[in-house]
Structure 1
Amino acid sequence: MQIAITGTGSYIPETVVENQDFEKHEFLNSDGSSFKHDNPVIIEKFKAITGIGERRYVAKNLNTSDIAFLAAERAIADAGIDKEDLNYIILAHNFGDVAYGQSQGDTLPSLATRVKHHLRIKNPKCVAYDLIFGCPGWIEGVNQANAFIKSGMAKKCLVIGAETLSRIVDPYDRDSMIYSDGAGATIIEAKENAGQILSCASATYAHDEAFLLFFGKSYKSPSDATRADRQENTKYIKMYGRKIYEFAVTYVPQAMDDCLKDSGVSIADIKKIFIHQANEKMDEAIVKRFYGLYDMEMPEGIMPMNIGKLGNSSVATIPTLFDMVRNGKLENQSIQKGDVVIFASVGAGMNINAIVYRV
Structure 2
Amino acid sequence: MSIAITGTGSFRPSIIIENSNFEKNTFLNTDGSIIEGPNEVIIEKFKSITGIEQRRYAKNELNTSDLGHLAAAKAIENAGIDKETLDYIIFAHNFGDVSPGKIQGDTLPSLATRVKHKLDIKNPKCIAYDMLFGCPGWIEGVIQANAFIKAGMAKRCLVIGADTLSRVVDEYDRDTMLYSDGAGAAIIEETEGKGQFLNHETATYANDEAFYLFFGESYNKDIKEDRRYIKMYGRKIYEFAISHVPQAMKECLDKTGRDISEVKKIFIHQANEKMDEAIVKRFYRQYKLKPPTGIMPMTIGRLGNSSVATIPTLYDKVRKGNIEGHSIEKGDVVLFASVGAGMNINAMVYEV
Same fold (TM > 0.5): yes
RMSD: 0.6
For 1:66 and 1:239, the matched residues in 2 are separated by 27
The amino acid of 1:118's aligned partner reads: K
Q: State the distance in 1 between where 2:159 and 2:197 align.
A: 14
- Does structure 2 conserve the Cα–Cα contact (< 8 Å) formed by 1:195 and 1:357? yes
Residue 70 of structure 1 and its aligned partner are, at CA, apart by: 0.4
Q: 1:179 maps to which residue?
A: 179
**2:153 alignment partner AA:** M
Identify which of 257, 269, 284 aligns with 1:264.
Answer: 257
Shift of 1:261: 1.1
* Deviation readout 1:253-295 (Å, 9 max, x if unpaired): 0000011012111101000000000000000000000000000
Q: Which runs of 5+ in 1 are unaligned?
A: none
- Is 1:128–2:133 an aligned residue pair? no
Asked if the contact 1:64/1:96 (under 8 Å) is kept, the reply is: yes
TM-aligned CA deviation for residue 35 of structure 1? 1.0
Could you tell me how far 1:103 is from its partner in structure 2? 2.0
Which string of whole-angstrom CA distances, capped at 9 and with x for unpartnered residues, describes residues 214-254 of structure 1?
A: 000000012xxxx52x2xx1000000000000000000000
Partner of residue 144, structure 1:
144
Secondary structure of the residue aligned to 1:29 is: coil
Which TM-score applies when normalising by structure 1? 0.97
2: CA distance, partners of 1:191 / 1:201 = 23
Q: Give the one of 336, 345, 348 matched to 2:341.
A: 348
Does residue 289 of the first structure (1) align with residue 260 of the second (2)? no
The 3-state SS of whatever aligns with 1:209 is coil
Query: What amino acid does structure 1 have at the position aligned with 2:326?
Result: Q
CA distance in 2 between partners of 1:131 and 1:10 (Å): 18
Native 8 Å contact 1:160 1:183 kept in 2: yes
Residue 157 of structure 2 corresponds to 157
Q: Distance in 2 between matches of 1:263 and 1:11?
A: 32
Among candidates 328, 333, 337, match of residue 330 of structure 2 = 337
Deviations 1:142-187 (A, max 9, x none): 0000000000000000000000000000000000000000000000
Percent sequence identity over aligned pairs: 70
SS at match of 1:344: strand
Displacement of 1:85 after TM fit?
A: 0.3
Which string of whole-angstrom CA distances, capped at 9 and with x for unpartnered residues, describes residues 9-67 of structure 1? 00000100000010000100011001111100000000000000000000010000001
Q: Deviations over 1:110-156 (max 9, x none)?
A: 00000000000000000000000000000000000000000000000
Matches within 5 A, 1:178-257: 178-222=178-222, 227-228=223-224, 230=225, 233-257=226-250
Cα distance in 2 for residues equivalent to 1:356 and 1:273: 9
2:43 maps to which residue? 43
Q: How does 1:25-44 map to 2 (within 5 A)?
A: 25-44=25-44
Determine the structure 1 residue equivalent to 2:109. Answer: 109
Aligned to 1:12: 12
- AA of the residue aligned to 1:90: I
SS at match of 2:9: strand
- Unaligned runs of at least 5 residues, structure 2: none
Give the structure-2-normalised TM-score.
0.99
Shifted more, 325-334 versus 273-282: the winner is 325-334
Aligned to 2:85: 85
3-state SS of 1:349 partner: coil
| Partner residue, 2:292 | 299
CA contact (8 A) 1:103 1:167 kept: no
Tell me, what secondary structure is at the counterpart of 1:189? strand
Give, in whole Å, the separation in 2 of the partners of 1:217 and 1:38. 24
SS at match of 1:322: helix
